Amino acid sequence: MARVSGCLKYSMFIFNFLFWICGCVILGVAIWLRVSKSGKEVLTSGNSGGSPFVAMNILIAVGAIIMVMGFLGCCGAVKESRCMLLLFFIGLLLILLLQIVAGILGAAFKSETIRALNETLTRDVTFLSETGEEGKEFREAVRDFQEELQCCGLVNGASDWGNNFEQVSKSCECPERSSAICEMYQGKYVYKKTCISLIKDVVEKNFIIIIGIAFGLAAIEVIGLVFSMVLYCQIGNK
């Protein structure tokens, strides 16, 4: 009777333990992004629907599923359970297929996503000059972006803020007072660059990183599939 390779068994355990940790990280990051105030308000301002949160909800689900898969893989390897290993293999294969499809669709619709974001921000720029409760959180989010990205206004610069400029002028102020990056507005030096282009740049960079991580994780998942099937066969021949 063939023996189960101890090296393969514990390699499978270590792999799935790391896989479980990856699931924990994905779940934690996705939940943090889901409740992050700035990004949430910029993407959902003026829209009562929850569609911008679909991607975050999917990531939360994926993180939870990966944690379960990692647990099944660890237990299946240690206990030499063919049932657990088979469940792990099937679940991981489904995740891999969905991940590849999501990555391809994400890459294909990247330009459409950026265009939709551009239209949303251009439309919602009117909230900056308003004073009511509607758009208040959006204004706060843009003010935070101004401080972080060193820009002013969304589309037309400081004038986007209208009568609200004095309230947010500190986040727009340009300390260097260089004519290359600053301009004078209502007696204050403010950044020339508007935030819309910088926000789009951040989204594009994150888009590429997410797609890269997805395909990198897919390669690791293929190794997991091979390990689990070899171990499954060895246990069957024991």
Identify whether 119 is part of a domain. Answer: no
Q: Return the higher-pLDDT residue of 115 and 33.
A: 115
The closest of 150, 220, 144 to 190, measured between CA atoms, is 150
Whether residue 98 is found in the same domain as residue 171? no
What is the rounded distance in angstroms from the CA atom of residue 67 to the CA atom of residue 64? 5
Whether residue 187 is found in the same domain as residue 232? no
Residue 187 pLDDT > 80: yes
pLDDT digits (tens, 9 = 90+) for 66-86: 888 888 888 888 887 888 888
What's the mean pLDDT in 113-136?
80
pLDDT digits (tens, 9 = 90+) for 85-112: 888 888 888 888 877 777 777 677 777 7
Task: Please answer whether residues 151 and 194 qualify as being in contact, where contact means their C-beta atoms are separated by less than 8 angstroms.
Answer: yes
Specify the pLDDT at position 38. Answer: 52
Task: Please answer whether residues 89 and 229 qualify as being in contact, where contact means their C-beta atoms are separated by less than 8 angstroms.
Answer: yes
What confidence category does residue 45 fall into, taking pLDDT thresholds of 50, 70 and 90?
very low
Extract long-range pairs of 25-33: CB within 8 Å, 24+ residues apart.
25/63, 26/59, 26/62, 26/63, 26/66, 27/59, 27/60, 27/63, 27/64, 27/66, 27/67, 28/63, 29/59, 29/63, 30/56, 30/59, 30/60, 30/62, 30/63, 31/60, 33/59
> Whole-angstrom distance between the N-terminal and C-terminal Cα of the chain?
5
Residue 146 pLDDT > 60: yes
Residue 126 pLDDT > 60: yes
Whether residue 69 is found in the same domain as residue 130? no
Whether residue 129 is found in the same domain as residue 183? yes
What is the rounded distance in angstroms from the CA atom of residue 33 to the CA atom of residue 224? 28
Count of structural domains, the chain: 2
What is the rounded distance in angstroms from the CA atom of residue 139 to the CA atom of residue 134? 10
Whether residue 152 is found in the same domain as residue 213? no
Identify whether 120 is part of a domain. Answer: no
pTM of the model: 0.57
> Residue 84 sits in which domain range?
6-114+203-237
Identify whether 143 is part of a domain. Answer: yes
**Across all residues in the chain, what is the average pLDDT?**
79
Identify whether 216 is part of a domain. Answer: yes
State what percent of residues in the chain have pLDDT above 90.
Answer: 0
